[in-house]
Amino acid sequence: MALFTDEEQERIRQAIVQVEENTSGEVRVCVEKSCSEDVLLRAAKYFESLDMEKTEQRHGVLIYLATADRKFAIIGDKGINSVVAVDFWDTTKNAMLEHFKNGDLIEGIVVGLRIAGEQLQKYFPNGDNKNPNQLPDDVAFMDGD
């Protein structure tokens, strides 16, 4: 289910790689066409099914999008949630939404990754540069329930 071109997928993957070079945190992007339930519940389900909660410091971040339904969420695990501002995810979503409104879905995703990456780097820096990549960097395309 390729909702993005190969070039778009590579741009997202490279943004993930850049984020993870500077932090011990892990980020993923999960995409599907439709979301038949509350977007945060759906994102949380995929967060778990993609093993995002298995990062050592519980500092995984997931950007979830349902393209046809025009829904999205960005969520973090308890490690990152315990240190960022209460409104961090909402302000990140708003920054992404500005690009989505202009029809630039990929740039919106990249912006969300960068913003999350700044906080991950701040609170979970990659001090020794020996941080193993704990999760894949590719876009996870889902088929729903």
62 φψ region: left (φ > 0), alpha (ψ -120 to 50), beta (else): beta
The beta strand positions in 21-120, using DSSP E, are: 26-32, 60-66, 71-76
What does the mean pLDDT of the chain come to?
91
Q: What is the pTM of this model?
A: 0.92
pLDDT tens-place string over residues 122-144: 999 987 656 667 777 788 989 76
Contact between 55 and 77 under an 8 Å Cβ cutoff? The reply is yes
In this prediction, residue 1 has a pLDDT band, given cuts at 50, 70 and 90, of: very low
Domains and CATH numbers, the chain: 6-125+133-141 (3.10.310.50)
Helix (H, G, I), strand (E, B) or coil at 60: strand
The pLDDT score that the predictor gives to residue 2 is 60
Average pLDDT over every residue of 102-121: 95
Residue 92 has pLDDT above 90, yes or no: yes
